[in-house]
Amino acid sequence: MRPINSKITKIIEETPSIRTFRFDTSLDDAQPGQFVMVWVRGVDEVPMGCSFKNGITVQKVGDATSRLFEMKEGDSVGLRGPFGKGFTLPAKDENILIIAGGVGVAPLGPLADEAISVGAKVTTILGARTASELVFEQRFSEAGDVHLTTDDGSAGTCGFVTTVLADMDVSEYDRICVCGPEIMMFNVLKMLEEKGVHDRAEFSLHRYFKCAIGVCGACCMDHEGLRVCKDGPVLNGSLLLDSEFGNYKRSSSSQRVKV
């Protein structure tokens, strides 16, 4: 597909470094966890999880995201998608644990919305470096209980999402859905493995995308050759146990780099 010309209708400042952009384009068939390629014309095209059917939530880190942060309502980008495989959809009466760190809230927001709409029960562990960096607190509270954690203790528990997770009885949950920095996700996976429930966990991964449609192989993970753009970005914990996850990834030239 060609990029859909999408006008920015609303910009919401979530934190000093994270903004949500809403568009006049709604990808109605987007499932929680799927992503779009956002073409910032003249700069780059980068993957972003759909935080709404018509929106993305972006952390400013480099060229493309900085250019996005200069844009105003009325400006436009090109959108291609939705691509990839998302989270397993929640069913009525299921008990779901959401673990979100930093901008990792983006694909999990729609999952929480979907869970309430079908009558599933949601508990969220929401982590950030500091209180002002917490995103979607209200949105997750509307879906169920929220446990906040911050690295500096300025809100909720002082520590990491794993600090809260360590004290939980995870066997209560039908599924555990995780997105955040890879080291955080890796520590969660190890903890869940110790408790024997890693196969109930789903992780939304981050790898370098070029084609984003499962052809070029840039995003492939060892040792199964799974394509994060097409077989993922959401992958079951059991697929990640003996993989490169938490250890290394590939740069834009496909050289191995430590995570």
Partner 1 sequence: MVKITGIEFRNPTILASGIMGTTGASLVRMANSGAGAVVTKSIGPEPKAGHPNPSMVKLECGFLNAMGLPNPSYADFDNEIKIAKEGADVPVIASIFGGNAEEFVRVAEGLADSKPDAFELNVSCPHAEGYGATIGTDSCMVESITAAVCDVVDVPVWVKLTPNVTDIKSIGKAAENGGAAAVVAINTLRGMAIDINSGYPILGNRFGGLSGSAVKPVAIKCVYDLYEALEIPVIGVGGVSTWEDAVEMIMAGASAVQIGSAVHEGVEVFADIATGIEQFLQNNGYAGVEDITGLAHEVI
Ligand X SMILES: Cc1cc2nc3c(=O)[nH]c(=O)nc-3n(C[C@H](O)[C@H](O)[C@H](O)COP(=O)(O)OP(=O)(O)OC[C@H]3O[C@@H](n4cnc5c(N)ncnc54)[C@H](O)[C@@H]3O)c2cc1C
175: partner contacted, choices partner 1, ligand X, ligand FES, none (Cβ within 5-8 A by kind): none
Residues 212-231 that bind ligand FMN (CB under 6 A): 215-216
Q: Stretches 52-60, 87-95, 122-130, 207-215: which one binds partner 1 (CB under 8 A)?
A: 207-215
Burial class (CB in 10 A: 0-12, 13-18, 19+), 122: buried
Which one among 113, 174, 182, 222 touches partner 1, defined by CB under 8 A? Answer: 222
Report, in Å, the least distance between residue 86 CB and ligand FMN.
24
Q: In this complex, which beta carbon is closest to ligand FMN, that of residue 158 or of residue 215?
A: 215
> Both tokens of residue 241?
């146990």
CA distances from 123 to 25, 112, 115 (A): 31, 9, 11
Residue 209 binds to ligand X (criterion: CB under 6 A): yes
* Residue 171 region by backbone torsions, left for phi larger than 0, else alpha for psi between -120 and 50, else beta: alpha
74: partner contacted, choices ligand X, partner 1, ligand FMN, none (Cβ within 5-8 A by kind): none
Q: Could you tell me whether strands 175-179 and 157-158 are parallel, antiparallel, or unpaired per DSSP bridges? A: unpaired
Residues 188-217 that bind ligand FMN (CB under 6 A): 211, 215-216
Residue 145: partners with Cβ closer than 8 Å, 6 or more residues away: 122, 123, 124
At residue 167, φ and ψ (nearest 5 deg) are -95, 5
* Distance (Å, whole) CA 110 – CA 197: 24
Which one among 25, 31, 59, 88 touches ligand X, defined by CB under 6 A? Answer: 59
* Distance (Å, whole) CA 143 – CA 100: 14
Binding positions for ligand X, rule: CB under 6 A: 35, 44, 46-49, 56-59, 61-65, 103, 106, 206-209, 233
Binding positions for partner 1, rule: CB under 8 A: 1-3, 5, 37, 39, 41-46, 76, 78, 80, 209-218, 220-225, 227, 250-256
